[in-house]
Structure 1
Amino acid sequence: MGPDYCNNVELASFHSTSKGYMGECGYRGGYMEVVNLHPDIKGQLVKLLSVRLCPPVSGQAAMDIVVNPPVLGEESYAQFIKEKESVLSNLAKKAKLTEDMFNQVTGIHCNPLQGAMYAFPQIFIPSKAIEVAKAHKMAPDMFYCMKLLEETGICVVPGSGFGQREGTYHFSCAFVESEADGGLSVFLYDG
């Protein structure tokens, strides 16, 4: 994007042990990098972070492995690469399966999934349903998600909480491989 862009844009990046390819759910550890943050905002951020408790030791240890993985020549390198490639390959297969499954459903469109274990498909809600949702004082995608839960037991999160483009509707869900039958399950993503 060029040096002028990079030198002027405020940017925050986040990564955690549970949301990266390592998928170590439950290990509370992560990091954040901020670039070009306004000094007043940075001061408030430092103040906020200073009053928090530290993550558990296990989360800190897991984060150390995330940022310092084994390197070529180390004893565990071959096993690490094998496991990493297996995890990434399985995630890619599940992502493609999820995308294809959603795109077979009338009224849903899912763009190619990239990274993590989350899908954010667009839902096309009929205008009559949008009117009913508004009559219930609900965002149309929230109304859709509640009806989906009530009628099928499937629980997803409405996209309106993520700042979607005006006039479009989405939901968020997590997908994982079912260990029992090798199939695919969609679970609630609770943010």
Structure 2
Amino acid sequence: MFNVSLVQRLQEELKANPGSLPFDEILYCNIGNPQSLGQLPITFFREVLALCDHPTILDKAETQGLFSADSIERAWQILDQIPGRATGAYSHSQGIKGLRDTIAAGIEARDGFPANPNDIFLTDGASPAVHMMMQLLISSEKDGILCPIPQYPLYSASIALHGGSLIPYYLDEETGWGLEVSELKKQLEEARSKGISVRALVVINPGNPTGQVLAEENQRDIVEFCKKEGLVLLADEVYQENIYVPEKKFHSFKKVARSMGYGDNDLCLVSFQSVSKGYHGECGKRGGYMEITGFSPEVREQIYKVASVNLCSNISGQILASLVMSPPKAHILSFPSLFL
């Protein structure tokens, strides 16, 4: 088993005694962390963040020569949405309203269906959002969460942390790591026979670590399964831009559910997004969000209470999440240089 602590000790040994080991460098490939492997940050993102954090330079003449006009314009737009134009202040517990407006517009443009900014909770990456939902769904070991195997260990760890039961369903390697609804039914029935109340189904699409992309027909079957069984659908969609097979296409579960005619009264759905993945790889900035739909006002109030415990997510991450969901358009003059 891979042991990060051991690797860290080896790295300290290399630093203290160069040449003491049969290698001179360690690359951490155990987790998606592209900038640690040399990927440069996106120019547009960093320019906008810099300007928002130090807005006094926006009025200086030399700024026009150091920053693109498009970054300057976007920074002004964002600062106008932040009370007091202070990125060092607390925000609303769900995140800055104007940034949630931008994200909702990005979701709507992606899916072709309306998105409500009040359904969006900005978080310090997708992981805290997952923990938040596990905390709300699990009250004892008698509460179970259907989770794919293989899976990113965030889910097994968070289920264990909150005292629930992981109900595994196995992806089929022979069919390209496909998700069979028959497998979901089998595991659900077995868990219920043991007295476990299964609360939710986790689907990672595109998959981690398998990389598969679910077909839209398969997604419709999953939506029907969750609706019939009364399960919350937890859709991990952070890899939506990491698709490497030309004939594959990402469809969000919300888009699929809405195209089937299902609305808030039919399905409880939580979708997770992060600035750490995709082409941006801003892992250290800790930005992300969850969009929650289909929950009663009483449950939404509890979700808000849990979010309020942490006051708010960091503002740089909030800004990045809005930029990821509303990147520069190809027609703007400085587009080529913004993605260097």
Q: Max radius of gyration: which structure?
A: 2
TM-score higher than 0.5 here? no
**Structure 2 length normalisation: TM-score?**
0.22
